[in-house]
Amino acid sequence: MARAKKGSTSPARRGPAAGGADHNVQKRIESERISADIADFQKSGGRIEKLGVTRVLQKIAPATADEHSAAEPSGRGRRRK
């Protein structure tokens, strides 16, 4: 039995998918709209606070044994009814 060559079938489409070009246009329009909204907000006296990296986003050292025992519930306290 003869095997078909890999290139003998119809060539694969190259380039963006059918909706790809339209999607890029939509992303650009949305980006421009957001930029215009921010500019209008700043013109009207609004201020945007730019936040830095928070502790949550930094690498946090693993908890020590003391921290684990303090975090565990002791079994005392109010119980739900």
pLDDT at 8: 54
pLDDT of residue 60: 66
Q: What is the DSSP letter of 72?
A: S
Q: What is the pLDDT of residue 79?
A: 60
Is residue 27 a contact partner of residue 35, using CB atoms and an 8 Å limit? no
Rounded mean pLDDT of the chain? 73
pLDDT, averaged in runs of 10, over the chain (81 residues): 59 57 88 96 93 71 65 59 58
